[in-house]
Chains A and B, each alone.
Chain A
Amino acid sequence: MPELSYREAVRDAMSEAMRRDDDVFIMGEDIAEMGGSMGVTQGMLEEFGPDRVRNTPISEMAIVGAGIGAAMAGMRPIVEIMYQDFTTLSMEQLVNQAAKHRYMSGGQLTVPLTVRTQGGAGWSPGAQHAQQLEAWFVHVPGLKVVFPSTPEDVRGLLWSSIYDDNPVIFFEHRTLYGLKGEVPDQIDPIELGQARVHREGEDVTVVATGRLVHEALAAAEEAEGEGISVEVLDPRTLQPLDEDAIVRSVEKTNRCVVAHEAVVRMGFGAEVAALVQERAFDYLDAPVERVGAKFAPLPFAPVMEEFVIPHQADVLAAIKRTVGRNGDAAS
């Protein structure tokens, strides 16, 4: 099996779709000659030309809206929003238009649009270039939300997103772009709505997304050394959500930790915690623990940024709380 970086895997899915299908094209800021602010689209202009790798003005409303219009006209556009913080500028188009045309038309329209965006803390960009806003979009009926954490997943899920007939908000984590992993020879589409169990365990389930999948795997390794068997599950798509997989896992382990980089309050973890108590309450041996960023904008100074966002140690501490070790369980 070939090895690709997460960045290359994203590019590979887009390029392969564009080779096979004239209806797929990409537009976004600085994606042509520059190859994107994160280098994801490097080389695509040369292969596909400026009609299909379209550099745009800094106009998030119009870029997303043009994607909606082209999608309604039967194409499968990919829109790159440079930083997910800038999706706030296109929120009207995403929430009121993309998500609702199918519904408001009584099923006459489809909007097969993929909006790719990226973010994540770790490089000290400060408060406007590193937020994790995925939970906002899960709150909007009509949108699908995807957040892959490995090269294999990002490629297979992006392919499925491009070919999904609904608007998909596709989150990439900036610190994962360099991550390498094996991928199948041919693109293997991954169905939206299927979780992936990265590591099986018996004592506690960690439901993690994005960068925190890797923090959780490292924490699980550490816990293993202390005799705690941890299952790590990545839902991969937040909408639709593979509820059954989460419930099944918790029914087996009887404990659950949810871990994401976004702030804890009103985050995706709250939804998972609610799901688990609704469907697996009788199986729970401990309260569901949530791991995420502290309730603060992302600060600039590296020491403060490190303080705000969650790490392996935070996941490990939560794991230990659920199994009642270390005596610092919530009273």
Chain B
Amino acid sequence: MATAEKKGQGIARDTLKDFLREMLLIRRFEEKVEERFRAGELPGFLHVAIGQEGVAVGVCRALEAGDVIASTHRAHGHTLAKGTHPNELMAELYGKLEGCSHGYGGSMHLYDVERGNLGANAVVGGGLPAIVGGALAFKLRGEPRVAVAFFGDGATNIGTFYESLNLAQLWGVPAVFVCENNHYAESTPAKQHMPIEDMTKRAEAFGMEAMKVDGQDVEAVYKTTQRALKHARDGKGPVFLVAETFRLTGHYIGDPQVYRPKEEVRELRQTQDPVEKLRAKIELPDDEWEEMEREVTEVVEASVEFAKAGTDPKPEDALKNIYA
């Protein structure tokens, strides 16, 4: 839940510390996922969002109860930030019945409907139209809820993006389209996939309210998202929110990243790590940082234990859940 903040004021240090803890949890969780994948324990395709934690936490913490999200193939951070327990997420990555999708989804299909997570989507742009529909349902029913889509810069080149934004603006539905611009569509840099630099122009073409924010500054993401949500919730229509961010690792675990210079990653890690930025901003003393590290590491280790002790589905469970 969002902490109430007065407009124009900074966010209380305790809240920011809480954000930091959440971001660190996501970071350590994903590092553990990388480690366990390399150890051969995790099946499937895994995409981590190391470097993008500020967007996940900043956006999801600004949401209110009843708001829903749709995520992408890079979904661990969004899922944790939306409230799924690390145990349930890790169990899903291990393909266990205790997982948040009960072993039917995996990393690219993380759901937690009770907590408003309508699912991560492995088709780029695939979840956008449903967010328009969810928001339409809220509008038709007169519910003060907002539907939020996460997607990357790569998704702004696919047809669903244009059809969805057009329809959302046309119908004035309470949706927020959060574009995590990490400047790469898988391996393809923005300059090879987009003829413009300022993506807000794409939304402006539909007459849609567009906002831009430094995605590495979680406080800014949180405040901007609050503005966007208010706009949508007040019935003023959808918002396109571009968060400029950086993927500090490859597209997938094991990606040798031959498409970008090693110095780029090294420099980004030094200058654009949202966790380090926030730690410096709130001047967290070393002992508090170490305590936070200990706590988070414990949670992550416990999630692995939980997952490994989880229940394997029976093979024939594959034939369940096809029809309601």
Chain A residues engaging chain B, CB cutoff 8 angstroms:
22, 25, 51-52, 54, 56-57, 59, 61-75, 77, 92-93, 96-97, 101-110, 112, 141-142, 144, 164-166
Contacts and interface: CB of A to CB of B under 8 A. Distances in A.
Contacts of A104: 101, 104-105, 109, 111, 119
B167 A106 contact: no
Interface in B91-121: 99, 101-105, 109, 111-114, 118-119, 121
Nearest to B112: A108
Contacts of A63: 129, 167
Contacts of A92: 123, 126, 160
A66 B170 CA distance: 13
A62 B322 CA distance: 24
Interface of B: 68, 99, 101-105, 109, 111-114, 118-119, 121, 123, 126-138, 140-141, 147, 159-160, 163-164, 166-167, 170-171, 320-324
A139 to B, nearest CB: 13
B134 A72 contact: yes
Contacts of A72: 118, 130, 133-134
Given A102-B323, A109-B119, A62 B164 contact: yes
Contacts of B103: 106
Contacts of A61: 129, 159-160, 163
A146 to B, nearest CB: 14
B323 A109 contact: no
A204 to B, nearest CB: 33
Contact of B102 (A59, A71, A106): A106
Contact of A70 (B112, B133, B323): B133
A77 B99 CA distance: 30
Contacts of A141: 322
A310 B281 CA distance: 75
Contacts of A25: 140
Contact of A65 (B68, B111, B133): B133
A61 B132 CA distance: 11
Contacts of B137: 69-70, 73-75
A312 to B, nearest CB: 36
B133 A67 contact: yes
Nearest to A65: B129
Contacts of A102: 321-324
Contacts of B129: 61-66, 68-69, 93, 97
Nearest to A54: B171
A106 B104 contact: yes
B324 A166 contact: yes
Contacts of B109: 104-105
A141 B164 CA distance: 26
9 contacts: A69-B136, A73-B137, A73-B147, A105-B101, A105-B109, A107-B102, A110-B324, A142-B323, A166-B324
Contacts of A56: 167
Nearest to A68: B130
A106 B321 contact: yes
